[in-house]
């Protein structure tokens, strides 16, 4: 394992209010479970170098080889007037910006919660609600070789290493991710998704692509200002989708 996400390696890279407290275990079932129902307050962070039962969206499992990824959960207490489904896009934007800063390539957001680099999924976001608080979990594939990436996944996975050939310091990435998340979250708290719409829209991976959602085919038009996905059917009917899994054609 190259490096760890132990507090002594990560805390020098923490710049803002996220990461107080910073809970770390070398291995745990899921970082989400360390925060859900914990009674902790906004800004609490849980990180690990390996999850034995990492949680993905739609009841899936999130798999990684030990010591290869950024695996982090952040506890947030959003204002009541904000639409919670937008939070995954806020976190996806922060993750995309972190990736771009690290690898100097453009990253995209695949609605509603994936981060793409060179058409591969390099990160996934899982937002879970408990006690009126939201735990946002981010899994970023960093140093996996191609062989270490899951063989079967709905969206073809990649890691920063498999796509660029360079290894990255996970503690530095985590510090940068938490800063970016704090920035985008604060803008969202104040202005809603409208405040980030230009940045999200510019990274919309699905825009203009042929997609299938809930068995229905069409062309993705855009992520709306409310964080929904707008799709035009082949009969030119436009509908918006609130949540779900999108398959795209290459
Ligand atoms: C997805 O794309 O299905 C979402 C994956 C989310 C994975 C992260 S890893 C850190 C946090 N802990 C978990 O158990 N899941 C999230």
**In this predicted model, what pLDDT tens digit does every residue of 182-195 receive, in sequence order?**
999 999 999 999 99
Provide the percentage of residues in the chain whose pLDDT is more than 90: 90
Contact partners, residue 189, CB within 8 Å, separation at least 6: 78, 79, 82
The whole-chain average pLDDT of the chain stands at 95
Q: What is the model's pTM?
A: 0.97
- Report the half-sphere exposure of 225 (CA within 13 A, side-chain side): 4
Which pLDDT score, from 0 to 100, does residue 130 have? 84
Task: Decide if pLDDT at 152 tops 90.
Answer: no
The rounded Å distance from CA 56 to ligand 1 centre is 5
Residues with C-beta less than 6 Å from any ligand 1 atom = 30-32, 51, 54-57, 60, 62, 71-73, 113-114, 124-126, 137-139
- List the beta bridge partners of residue 229: 223, 241
Distance of CA 128 to the CA centre of its chain: 13
Task: Provide the total of helices (H) and of strands (E) in the chain, helices listed first.
Answer: 6, 14
The rounded Å distance from CA 235 to ligand 1 centre is 36
Ligand 1 atom closest to Cα of residue 64: 9
Q: What is the pLDDT of residues 92-150, one digit of tens each?
A: 999 999 999 999 999 999 999 999 999 999 999 999 998 889 999 999 999 999 999 99
Question: Which residue out of 29, 52, 55, 109 has the highest number of ligand 1 atoms within 8 Å of its CB and is therefore the one to mutate?
Answer: 55
Phi, psi for 21 (deg, rounded to 5): -80, 165
């Amino acid at each position: 394992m190259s490096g760890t996400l132990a507090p002594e390696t990560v805390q020098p890279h923490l710049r803002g209010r996220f990461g107080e407290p910073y809970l770390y275990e070398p291995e745990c079932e899921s970082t989400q479970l360390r925060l859900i129902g914990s009674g902790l307050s906004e800004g609490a962070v849980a990180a690990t170098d390996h999850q034995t039962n990492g949680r993905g969206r739609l009841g899936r499992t999130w798999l990684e080889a030990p010591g290869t990824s950024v695996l982090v959960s952040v506890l947030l207490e959003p204002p009541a007037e904000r639409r919670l489904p937008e939070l995954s896009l806020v976190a996806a934007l922060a993750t995309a910006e972190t990736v771009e800063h690290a690898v100097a390539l453009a990253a995209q957001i695949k609605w509603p919660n994936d981060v793409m680099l060179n058409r591969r999924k390099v990160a996934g976001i899982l937002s879970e609600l408990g006690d009126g608080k939201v735990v946002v979990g981010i899994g970023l594939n960093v140093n996996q070789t191609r062989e270490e990436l899951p063989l079967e996944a709905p969206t073809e996975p990649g890691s920063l290493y498999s796509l660029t050939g360079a290894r990255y310091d996970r503690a530095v990435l985590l510090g940068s991710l938490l800063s970016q998340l704090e920035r985008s979250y604060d803008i969202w708290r104040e202005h809603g998704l409208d405040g980030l719409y230009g940045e999200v829209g510019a990274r919309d991976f699905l825009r203009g692509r042929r997609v299938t959602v809930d068995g229905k085919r069409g062309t993705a038009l855009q992520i709306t200002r409310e964080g929904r996905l707008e799709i035009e059917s082949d009969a030119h009917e436009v509908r918006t989708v609130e949540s779900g899994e999108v398959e795209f054609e290459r």
